[in-house]
Amino acid sequence: MILRRCIVSGRVQGVFYRKSAQRRATELGLRGHARNLADGRVEVLVLGEAAAVDEFCGWLWEGPSAARVTGVAVEELEVAAAVQLPEGFSTG
């Protein structure tokens, strides 16, 4: 299991980016959340098997068709930090 925090920039708010991320994460069996940040970016915290997390992080560059992703900053976190994550994937 690995845990990553990703900050996605570009046109990612108001284009169903978080809902699409939730759908993709659920398909891959991942836990975590996607939430809007005040500066227009989206924070994604994702926990799961390495291959699934890698695939999901690649998808973050695409997002839904209306999104225009210009950057994805990825930070590896200690898995112990996942203690407060929801069982599924939320868009809070």
Catalytic, 24? Answer no
Tokens 């939730």 correspond to: 22
CA distances from 78 to 4, 5, 82, 88, 92 (A): 9, 10, 8, 19, 22
Is 5 a residue of the active site? Answer: no
Q: CA 61, CA 74: separation in Å to the nearest integer?
A: 11
Instruction: List the catalytic residue out of 4, 18, 24, 31.
Output: 18
Under DSSP, the state recorded for 67 is -
Q: Which residues are catalytic?
A: 18, 36
